[in-house]
Amino acid sequence: MTFTLPPELTLESDGPVRILTMNNPEQLNAFTDPLHEAMEYVWAHLAQDPECRAVVLTGAGRAFSAGGNIPSFIRDYEDPEHRRASLRKARRLVDEMLGTHLPVIAAVNGPAVGLGCSVATMSDLVLMAEGSYLADTHVSIGLVAGDGGAALWPLMTSILKAKEYLFTGARIPAEEAVAMGLANRVVPADRLREEALALAHSIAALPPQAVQETKRAINLHLQQAANTVLPFALAAEGESFGTDDLRKTIERFRSR
């Protein structure tokens, strides 16, 4: 079956490196349904590319990704079947990103919020531009943080730090993300793409089986955590759509 990317996700080649760009800058690369679906299935597509050795993931414009798309979020609130489908898709995205054998380098060029934050921190290496930040804002809008951070951050940083930022939804500046272990390094914004590509090419030049099987070995820790935590966390996120706090959030969004 032919795999066709929507305009919201572009794919470029640079030798053995593939560059994925979330490409909806007018909406700060929020996860529309087409973008979400493309991000679920692009990893299997890349796995069939015999020349691909590493992937750089970034966002177009001034954001990495603002996370959830408001119209889709409202539909999740109004339509239980759409909500259940969205939660299944969230699980598939986590499984596909953790399961791909290809090393993935996130080039975080601006805000990475909600699902955008999860996608960044599920990457294998995270480079952040000066002035960029991470934020998992689920709790601040009345949702359980179900799609990644609660499962994976305790393996990357301390339990206390994970709780602090998941409980509050506060921004994690790039420098703090590095200090916490959620990112590898901060680079000047005008050098982000260059440094991400240089890192990707350095990895791509190494023996591929050695790199890929090492990734698989390390990611067994993350996959085990995801398999343990996500069934509860995503179910709890679904249930939180029925709370008064979430209803108030929806009313605010509708009034904009």
Its domain, for residue 172, covers 9-191
Among the ranges given (9-13, 25-29, 193-197, 250-254), the one the predictor scored with the smallest mean pLDDT = 250-254
CA angle 216, 187, 8 (to 5 degrees): 65
- Decide if 218 is inside a domain: no
> Which residues make Cβ contacts (< 8 Å) with residue 107, sequence separation at least 6?
56, 57, 58, 127, 129, 192, 193, 196
At 38-59, the pLDDT tens digits run: 999 999 999 999 999 999 999 9
Overall domain count for the chain? 1
- Establish if 236 belongs to a structural domain: no
Residues 6+ apart with CB under 8 A from 245: 142
Q: Is 143 left (phi over 0), alpha (psi -120 to 50) or beta?
A: beta
CA torsion, points 54, 59, 60, 65, in degrees to nearest 10?
Answer: 160
Q: Is 251 within a domain?
A: no
- Does residue 3 carry a pLDDT above 80? no
Does the residue 41 lie in any domain? yes
Task: Please report, to the nearest 10 degrees, the dihedral formed by the alpha carbons of residues 248, 153, 176, 21 taken in order.
Answer: -80
Classify residue 28: in a domain, yes or no.
yes
Task: Please say whether the beta carbons of 175 and 186 come within 8 A.
Answer: yes
Query: Quick check: is 168 in a domain?
Result: yes
Give a yes or no: residue 231 inside a domain: no
CATH number for the domain including 157? 3.90.226.10
- Per-residue pLDDT at 1: 44
256 is a domain residue = no
What is the value of pTM for the model shown?
0.96
